Amino acid sequence: MSVQYKMMGKNDNLNPADQKENGYYPVVVRKKTIGIKELAERSSSRCRMHPFEMEMAIKTALEAIQEELLESNNVCLEGFGTFSLKAESRNVTNPDELRAESIFVKKVSFKCSPILLKELKTATFVRYNEK
């Protein structure tokens, strides 16, 4: 199992035209996006659960994660990572000016666990053949 990559040219938007730096960086080639159903099918082949049962287990876990985030909790899946909610509002000079109704969810943040990151760092890379 290898991660495919291709090389992309760097855009130097910071330096003036006569001082632009040229170079390339690797970009991971994404083959496709795996949905819950396919993830459940792949996962169920590794245990004694039917794919439908695995799919329902994943969906139930996702609902529980969402509920916990809405309760102001972080959700840590040991060995995988931690999910947390980030909030945003308009800029104010006095904290008393801001009402709760003006605050909204900016994003859900995910911090990869050191265990998963260590495993992923063992990845081997092969250049993508664009033919």
Question: According to the model, what pLDDT value does residue 1 have?
Answer: 79
Question: According to the model, what pLDDT value does residue 20 have?
Answer: 77
Question: According to the model, what pLDDT value does residue 96 have?
Answer: 86
Question: According to the model, what pLDDT value does residue 77 have?
Answer: 96
Residue count of the chain, please give it.
131
Token couple for 16: 């003036």
* CA distances from residue 113 to 4, 28, 93, 119 in whole angstroms, order as listed: 23, 21, 36, 10
Question: According to the model, what pLDDT value does residue 17 have?
Answer: 78
DSSP H helices, the chain, are: 36-44, 51-70, 114-120
Collapsing DSSP states into helix, strand and coil, what is residue 35? coil
Question: According to the model, what pLDDT value does residue 11 have?
Answer: 80
Domains of the chain: 3-12+23-127 (4.10.520.10)
Cα separation of 89 and 98, whole Å? Answer: 8
Q: Which of 74, 69, 75 is nearest to 105 (CA)?
A: 69
Q: CA neighbours within 13 Å on the CB side: how many for 97?
A: 6
Cα separation of 30 and 66, whole Å? Answer: 27
Question: According to the model, what pLDDT value does residue 120 have?
Answer: 95
Q: Tell me the average confidence (pLDDT) per consecutive run of 10 residues in the chain, 131 residues long.
A: 89 80 88 94 93 96 97 96 95 86 93 96 92 69
DSSP code, position 14: S
Question: According to the model, what pLDDT value does residue 9 have?
Answer: 85
